[in-house]
Amino acid sequence: MACVGLVNGRRTVASLLSDEDWKEVVKLSKGRQVLMPDTKLPAQAKTLRWDGGITRYFSHFPGESPEGYTSTESPEHIAMKVAIYKALVDLGIRAELEDGVDDWRADILVGDSAFAPRLAIEVQISPQSAQRTYERTEQRNHSGVPTLWIFGSIGLTGRLSEDLARRNPIFVAETPQDAADIASAVCRGQAFYDDLLSYQQTPARPVALLVNCACGDRWLYPFGSVLLLNRISGETAPMFISCFRTSKVGKGLLPTARIRAVEKYFDLGMSSVKASADKYGVGFGQPSEVWHRYGRFGNSKSGIRVWERSYSCPACASTPEPLTRGLPKGVALLRCPVPVATTVDARSVLSITPSWRMSRKDGWVESPMCERRWKDEFIYPLRSAISQS
194 with 356: CB under 8 angstroms? Answer: yes
Confidence (pLDDT) at 328: 45
Confidence (pLDDT) at 85: 95
- Domain boundaries in the chain? 4-194, 200-352+362-387
Q: Compute the radius of gyration of the chain from its Cα atoms.
A: 30
Confidence (pLDDT) at 213: 83
Confidence (pLDDT) at 376: 72
Q: CA–CA separation, 326 vs 310, rounded Å? A: 11
236 with 188: CB under 8 angstroms? Answer: no
337 with 189: CB under 8 angstroms? Answer: no
Q: Please tell me the total number of residues recorded for the chain in this structure.
A: 389
Q: Is the pTM value of this prediction over 0.85?
A: no
Confidence (pLDDT) at 381: 66
Confidence (pLDDT) at 198: 94
Confidence (pLDDT) at 337: 47
pLDDT tens digit at each of 389 positions of the chain: 788 889 998 999 888 899 999 999 999 999 999 998 888 999 999 988 887 778 888 888 988 888 777 667 788 898 999 999 999 999 999 999 999 898 899 999 999 999 999 999 999 998 899 999 999 999 999 999 999 999 998 878 888 888 888 999 999 999 999 999 999 999 999 999 999 999 999 999 888 887 888 888 888 888 889 999 999 998 899 998 989 888 888 777 787 888 899 999 999 989 988 988 888 788 899 999 998 877 665 555 566 788 889 899 999 998 876 554 455 444 445 445 455 678 999 999 998 889 999 988 899 987 766 667 766 766 666 666 655 54
Confidence (pLDDT) at 297: 55
Straight-line distance from the first to the last Cα atom of the chain, in angstroms, rounded to the nearest whole number: 65
Confidence (pLDDT) at 43: 92
Confidence (pLDDT) at 41: 92
